[in-house]
Amino acid sequence: MSERLFIRLGVTSSDPCSWLVWSEQEQEIIASGELADASALQTLSERAGNRPVDVLVPSDVVRLMQVNLPEKGQRQALKALPFLLEESLAQNIEELHFVPGAREGDLLNVAIVAHEQLEQWLAWLTEAGLTARKLVPDCLAVPLAGCQWGLLQVANQYLLRTGEGAGVAVGKDWLGMMLPQLLEQTETKPSVACYTEFDDERLDCQLQTLELPMLVLAKGHLQSPLNLLTGRYKPRKEYNAQLQPWKKVAAIAVAVFVLGLANKGLGIYRYSSEAEQLKAQSEAIYRQVAGSSRIVNLRSQLDSTLRSLQGSGSGAELFNMLQQLQQSFSQVPELKPESLRFDGSRSELRMQVSAKSYEQIDKFRQIAASSFIIDAGAMNNNDGAVTSTLTLRSK
């Protein structure tokens, strides 16, 4: 997607936040503005839509340093990076997030920010329903444009980038006093890509096209070699929103295909298992009703019992009710009948049942309610088993 939402956050929640929607393809500003504070970020959630969200954060609270780190054995050295810089830091290294940046020879640029500050920025975005793809210190988003340094004024502050991964953010009145210290690191007068009119004989200022500061930072953000969202802050891999529906369709198609292949192998086992369960339930019900403990051929014994009851309205009605309940028992196999009592004069079947949960008894009642009027007694939980008494009458 060519349109992107850029947001520049403040240090505290009361600081103003600037934003810009820019079309990379059309090279034009779609919309821009400034919010009073971080709580107003939620007004940008609709503007974000499916656009990527790129975030700029104040360089004031991000320390940019360089450490001598030869490429040989770099992987092991990176793990020890916090300890290599520990003596240069006033804060406990466990409270800090270290992000390696671009290399300049044997020197490695490193960005350091407090976990508390980074988590605060992410919390503001989360509360506003925004997900950042990239967090970049604002001074590192000032384009160098082929120069050694880059300079941009934003409100009452100068953002000065002094290398691929180095830079500072200083008050407008302090830059002149800081220049001598910064110039000690260079052997010649540095060339500076100035996006702000700035006249100083100590610098070789090359004036660039004067544009909206947020637009300059947006363009530089895309080329920035550093992203603070690393390690535990690394965002989950995102896919283009337009591909999401197709992703779901593909997943369903694969699932159907796999299930189709597995169905033949599992079908026989599943149906055999269900048949065994139904057989066991039927035998249990027969023993309860007929009072017989020995079962040789259930169907034959049921037919014999039914014939013996022929002419007895109550007996035929009982077995008709049990036959109707067979489907309910099969759909809730965890529910077991503990005792059955049939009152022929009232055409009423009373069952004491047990199950593993209240939900299983409720499910049985709902299924059986299609054929019976059901009165349920209190449910009791004893030793992990739920019991209840159900009274059923045919509709």
Tell me, yes or no, whether 78 and 153 share the same domain: yes
Question: pLDDT tens digits for 74-96?
Answer: 677 677 788 888 888 888 999 99
Q: What is the mean pLDDT of residues 16-25?
A: 91
One domain, residues 103 and 9: yes
Q: Cα(first)–Cα(last) distance of the chain, in Å?
A: 62
Contact 158, 138 (CB under 8 A): no
Count of structural domains, the chain:
3
Is 326 a member of any domain? yes
> Confidence class of residue 239 from pLDDT cuts 50, 70 and 90?
very low
Distance CA 141, CA 144 (A): 9
Q: 110 and 78 in one domain?
A: yes
- Is the residue at 26 inside a domain? yes
For 392, the token pair is: 């059923």
State the average pLDDT for the chain: 84
Domain match, 151 and 280 both: no
pLDDT range class, residue 380, cuts 50, 70, 90: confident
- Indicate whether 135 and 274 sit together in one domain: no
Contacts of residue 90, Cβ cutoff 8 Å, sequence gap at least 6: none
- The DSSP code sequence of 58-101 is -GGGSEEEEEE--STTHHHHHHTHHHHHGGG-SS-GGGEEEEEE
The string of DSSP letters for 353-369 reads EEESSHHHHHHHHHHHT
389/318 same-domain check: yes
Query: Crossing angle of helices 298-308/244-290, nearest 10°?
Result: 50
Same domain, 214 and 258: no
Choose the final residue of a domain: 310, 328, 356: 310
β-bridge mates for residue 372, sequence order: 394
Residues 216 and 100 in one domain: yes
pLDDT tens readout for residues 169-220: 999 888 888 899 899 888 889 999 999 999 889 999 999 998 999 999 999 9
Range of 337's domain?
A: 314-394
| AA identity, residue 79 | K
The pLDDT, as a whole number, for residue 134 is 93
Mean of pLDDT values over 255-272? 63
Alpha-carbon distance 253 to 256, whole Å?
A: 5
Q: State whether 197 and 286 are in the same domain.
A: no
Whether residue 238 is contained in a domain is answered as no
Q: Which of 310, 334, 350 is the last residue of a domain?
A: 310
In the prediction, which pLDDT does 2 show?
75
Q: Cα 13 vs. chain centroid, distance in angstroms?
A: 24
**pLDDT higher than threshold 60 for residue 30:** yes
pLDDT digits (tens, 9 = 90+) for 100-125: 988 887 788 899 999 999 999 999 99
The predicted pLDDT at position 110 comes to 92
The model scores a pTM over 0.75: no
Amino acid sitting at position 78: L
Say if strands 53-57 and 3-8 run parallel, antiparallel, or are unpaired: parallel
Q: Are residues 16 and 67 in the same domain?
A: yes
Our measurement of the distance from residue 51's CA atom to the centroid of its chain's CA atoms, rounded to an integer in Å, reads 18
The helix (H) or strand (E) run that includes residue 20 is: strand 17-23
Q: Give the whole-angstrom CA distance, residue 171 versus residue 360.
A: 69
Long-range contacts of 382-387 (CB under 8 A, 24+ apart): 384/356, 385/354, 385/355, 385/356, 386/354, 386/355, 386/356, 386/357, 386/358, 386/360, 386/361, 387/338, 387/352, 387/353, 387/354
Cα 118 to chain center, whole Å? 19
Per-residue pLDDT, 148: 94
- Domain harbouring 390, CATH code: 3.30.1360.100
Residue 266: is its pLDDT beyond 80? Answer: no
Mean pLDDT computed over 347-370: 91
119 in a domain, yes or no?
A: yes
All residues at 6 or more sequence positions from 197 whose CB lies less than 8 Å from its CB, including other chains: 207, 210
Same domain as 326, residue 300: no
Q: What is the mean pLDDT of residues 30-38?
A: 94
Does 90 fall in a domain? yes
Mark whether 124 and 189 lie in a shared domain.
Answer: yes
- With residue 146 as reference, give the H or E element that holds it: none
- What CATH number did the domain enclosing 23 receive? 3.30.420.380
Report helix, strand or coil for 338.
Answer: strand
- Answer with the one of 204, 233, 262 that is the final residue of a domain: 233
pLDDT (average), residues 270-274: 68
Give domain status of residue 9, yes or no: yes
Residue pair 62/169 in contact by the 8 Å Cβ criterion: no
